[in-house]
Amino acid sequence: MNILTYTSNEELSAYAADFILDLVRAKPDAVLGLATGETPIGVYEQLVDRHRKSQVSFRQVKVFNLDEYAGLSPGHEQSYQTYMRKHLFSGIDLPSEHAYIPCGIADDLSAAARDYDRLLEEAGPLDLQLLGIGHNGHIGFNEPGEELYAETHVVKLTDETRAANSRYFELLEEVPEYAVTMGLGPIMRARQVLLIVRGENKAAVLKKALYGPVTTQCPASLLQLHPRLTVLLDEGAAKEL
Ligand code: PGA
């Protein structure tokens, strides 16, 4: 595991953006696993900026997002479709048909999840999975519990996750109770994983994830088993390491 700590979000995000851009430069048809949340916003900002300056093209790239809220239409302000369009897709030349996000509004969410896994499998292993971590150790929306799943699945969000994400909604009750998330399979099979963690309020969970027991109670702890894990931190997140 390679751990790098940065003093500013700008530096951290720049490193991550260059990491992704270098990968696409070396492999123009790279398959990228992408994340949402507050953490990667700076990365996407810099990626858009660097994409414009470097002219590295995303025309052959495919991206698969980790998750989507169940019940939010793609046009909903807080859907991850909207997030990705706003923060990344509108600023790069990725063809829209190469941008995959789990479907949160199908009549049969489980069937849609199986379709998503089929698409993932056809695309081949992810060349890179970008990840954040939840305060409870979740990756994607793989929440702590007795079991973890390899496949894309519907998940009931924990109270902690809903409370954390309620900052984007007017009321806690508006935060969806369910989501669809990629399972641990494609994440662990990704050729590389880039985990980004910012803020002192993630320091304790990060320590647990990287140095505690590997357990379903802290899904990010499985990353200890990944052969090519790079962890990018700010000083707050690195505080307990
Ligand atoms: P955050 O979310 O970047 O908004 O803290 C991370 C996560 O829940 O995976």
AA letter at 40: P
3-class state of residue 6 by DSSP: strand
Q: How far is CA 132 from CA 42, 163, 197, 235, in A?
A: 13, 17, 6, 16
Q: Which strands, in side-by-side order, build the sheet including 99-100?
A: 2-6, 229-234, 193-197, 128-131, 31-34, 62-65, 99-100
pLDDT at 77: 96
| Cα of 26 vs its chain's centroid, Å | 22
| pTM of the predicted protein model | 0.97
Minimal CA–CA distance to 161: which of 138, 184, 130? 138
| 120 CA from centroid of ligand 1 (Å) | 23
Structure confidence by residue, pLDDT tens digits, 159-171: 999 999 999 999 9
Q: Which of 11, 76, 135, 136 is catalytic?
A: 136
- Which atom of ligand 1 is nearest to 39's Cα? 3
Q: Token match 């304790």: residue?
A: 204
Q: Is 139 exposed, middle or buried (0-12, 13-18, 19+ CB in 10 A)?
A: buried
Q: Which of 68, 117, 143, 234 is catalytic?
A: 143
First to last CA, the chain: 13
Nearest atom within ligand 1 for CA of residue 35: 9
Would residue 108 show up in a list of annotated catalytic residues for this protein? no
Contacts of 195 (CB under 8 A, 6+ apart): 131, 132, 133, 220, 223, 229, 230, 231, 232
67 classed as catalytic: yes
Q: Which of 9, 34, 36 to mutate to test the pocket of ligand 1 (most atoms within 8 A of CB)?
A: 36
pLDDT for position 109? 97
**Residue 122: active-site member:** no
Rounded CA gap, 163 and 223, in Å?
25
| Ligand 1 interacting residues, C-beta cut-off 6 A | 37-39, 132-134
Strand pairing partners for 155? 179
Res 189: pLDDT: 98
pLDDT at 174: 96
Q: What is the DSSP letter of 31?
A: E
Stretch 70-75: mean pLDDT: 96
pLDDT value of residue 68? 98
Q: What percent of the chain has pLDDT over 70?
A: 100
- Most informative mutation of 9, 12, 34, 38 for ligand 1 (most atoms within 8 A of CB): 38
